[in-house]
Structure 1
Amino acid sequence: MKTAILIPARYASTRYPGKPLVPVRQPDGATKSLIEMSWEAARAVPGIDDVFVVTDDPRIEDAAHRFGADVIMTARECENGTARCADAVARAGLDADLVVNLQGDAPLTPPWFVEALIDEMIRDPEARMATPIIHCDRETYGNFVEDRRRGMVGGTTAVCDRFGNALYFSKEVLPWLDPQKVAEMDVIPVFHHVGVYAYRRETLLDYAGWGECELERHEGLEQLRFLANGEKVRCVEVEARGRVFWELNNPHDTARIEQALEAMAQ
């Protein structure tokens, strides 16, 4: 199964303009841009045939070329990363059987998260797309709750049925938990949705033709378009294996990512 990883990146982010080019301090004191770190994360996944940065912005294109990435330029009107990936596949005529969307704000994504999606798509030919979820540890759950308390959008949570298919995704912390009971829980029953997707090529192209749905518009979550159109989203539970996972959603997340890099280097 031929597989390509696409890294969608846009400069004009509403919440954090210029986010792909934000410098992140490395454990050795040097800095790398968020998009370069995401590209390196994609290249660390074994068995991938192609890796492309996909963007509409020449500043990101120039930066990507400087660190050696292949780039596909897309339409400026792409409303989210999935739509940008679909546009890139159509424009470049990519013939990959499986397309992985590794979003450019998740440089801490371990390679085994992506491998788990590919394995699931191979195991079940009926699965048309898949995305990873991970049980929240106490620190991550606390960060989610604190971000919401401060009126900030943090990570995304997922609620699934017993067959492993998504019921809903939200930027709220779902399900709601009684704060007095959380301290007594051995396992916190909240799943952090990791913003990585594997699609069969035809499923990705279908997405582009559906148009934005109301839930997607309210939550700002592209994957809700699949659910609104009756498409199942397979959620694959993955394990952190001691790694800290966090996306860069807000400016203060840069420090969280830098701290995680320091911990990984020790």
Structure 2
Amino acid sequence: MAPSMKIVFGLLTFVTFGMIIGALFQLAFIRKLEDSYGTDFPSFMRRQKNGYLQLPRGATFWDNDKEAELLRLGYVKPEVISWLPRILVLHNFLSMEECDYLRAIARPHLQVSTVVDTKTGKGIKSNVRTSSGMFLSPEEKKYPMIQQHRYEKDQYYKPHHDYFSDTFNLKRGGQRIATMLMYLSDNVEGGETYFPMAGSGECSCGGKVVKGLSVKPVQGDAVLFWSMGLDGQSDPSSLHGGCEVLSGEKWSATKWMRQRATS
């Protein structure tokens, strides 16, 4: 065999061997994640309610697994806080720079927020919702964030469902399946996202102790919750609201996920 061919053959062998070793490491890492899931799962299964898996607050299936923590969408750390309704907190979902940018493009266009009129399908002002908000322009709608909201002191959004009960909105994109609520500001007192039908304990909502579950607004965090159950039907337990802001300003960006694309 010519020297040049020996060199080529050697390089190919080296590259192939490296690819095999890399694949084995990947498989071993995936197996480790599966094992950590399988190890923790039975202990959580003993904490069931109404057939749904219940996780202790702050617990995940990959606790104490540093490699898995880095794998979670970069440094985003998911925390399941309820399975009925299904609620997931994504810690560090947005960077501080992204939060500042979204607030900056929203501030000049803020108007009094509206709610959907079930008779006409149009947005109307209501004392149920006292915040200010804005919709992005057609060009800005190409960005990942769809809508920005701001809650000042004493403003709130009373408990409501995100799924539709009228035919007007269902025609445009089908039912709302899930909602992603992203917090864009910090140092807010009150302003929790409140789920009155989640959990069995008590929580804080605008300085009051109430039954249910609430999520404190932390800049960069996001709350993902489902308005539809696993059976494809609207989930009444997804009732939620924005608690009264006691001090500071609560900024958030909302993304609704629907059954199909809207026009």
Q: Give the TM-score normalised by structure 2.
A: 0.30
Higher relative contact order (CA 8 A, sep 6+): 1
Instruction: Find the structure with the greater CA-based Rg.
Output: 2
More strand by share: 2
